[in-house]
Chains A and B, each alone.
Chain A
Amino acid sequence: QKEVEQDPGPLSVPEGAIVSLNCTYSNSAFQYFMWYRQYSRKGPELLMYTYSSGNKEDGRFTAQVDKSSKYISLFIRDSQPSDSATYLCAMSRTDKLIFGTGTRLQVFP
């Protein structure tokens, strides 16, 4: 079993939709949780960072962590075609980051 599981998609939604991206994990030692966005043929860029259970909001993006269920989510409100990318979750334990395989999102006009 992988330490971090992420549905690869693709997820295709119309512009303006609310998008929910999710990851589950098995290791309760994970302390910090991140979301990266990766456009085609580019490197991943950090989108959100959180270290506790609950919600963190940044503009149209909300990161949610539920440590009791070992589940993290990224919500995108009012999605735009420019949000079309692959979204990777990442989690840290004491020695390294563990990445999900990424969910490909397409927002069509």
Chain B
Amino acid sequence: DVKVTQSSRYLVKRTGEKVFLECVQDMDHENMFWYRQDPGLGLRLIYFSYDVKMKEKGDIPEGYSVSREKKERFSLILESASTNQTSMYLCASSPGARGADTQYFGPGTRLTVL
């Protein structure tokens, strides 16, 4: 079974803090993704990566950056957390051609920024 793990289930941070969210997958997938999920807005793509050290902006990259130093690990960084970044953050990975193949999700990190 594909397993995608995320470093924290729940996280509370203060405005202005730098926040790191870690994601690890164990299936040697090429592609990894970061989404945020908000009520009524669904899943919105923040950043994705097709290969180590490669990254591409998704639909809402502002206020975020990412790092992929190893194939299995994809990190999301909130440079200076703000209250409007309070959300559920979901990491996903997929084996196929770019982003078009089935994606497997981690359990999510519920981030609250005070």
Distance between Cα atoms of A90 and B108 in the complex (Å): 18
Main secondary structure of the interface of B (DSSP, over half): loop
Q: Is the CB of A94 within 8 A of B100?
A: yes
With an 8 A cutoff between CB atoms, is A45 at the interface? Answer: yes
Size bracket of the A interface: 20 to 34
Q: Distance (Å) between the CB of B59 and the closest chain A CB? A: 9
Q: How large is the interface on B (under 10, 10 to 19, 20 to 34, 35 or more residues)?
A: 20 to 34
Residues of B within 8 A of A95 (CB): 98-100
Report the bound CA distance from A51 to B59 in whole Å. 25
- Contact partner of A96 (CB less than 8 A), chosen from B40, B45, B108, is B45
Q: How far is the CB of A56 from chain B (nearest CB, A)?
A: 14
Residues from chain A with Cβ under 8 Å of B101 in the complex: 32, 92
Give every chain B residue within 8 A of A90 (Cβ-Cβ).
103
CB pair A97 B42 closer than 8 Å: no
Which residues of the partner chain B approach A44 to less than 8 Å between Cβ atoms? 43, 90, 105
Q: Report which of A43, A99, A101, A102 forms a contact with B107, defined as CB distance below 8 A.
A: A43
Given contacts A42-B107, A43-B90, A45-B105, contact A96 B43 (CB under 8 A): no
Q: Determine whether A46 belongs to the interface, using a CB cutoff of 8 Å to chain B.
A: yes
Please state if B108 and A43 are interface contacts (CB–CB under 8 Å): yes
* Minimum CB–CB distance for B114 against chain A, Å: 20
Residue of B nearest to A36 (CB): B105
What is A's interface to B at a CB cutoff of 8 Å? Answer: 8, 31-32, 34, 36, 41-46, 49, 88, 90, 92-97, 99-102
5 CB < 8 A contacts A-B: A32-B100, A43-B90, A43-B106, A44-B43, A100-B42
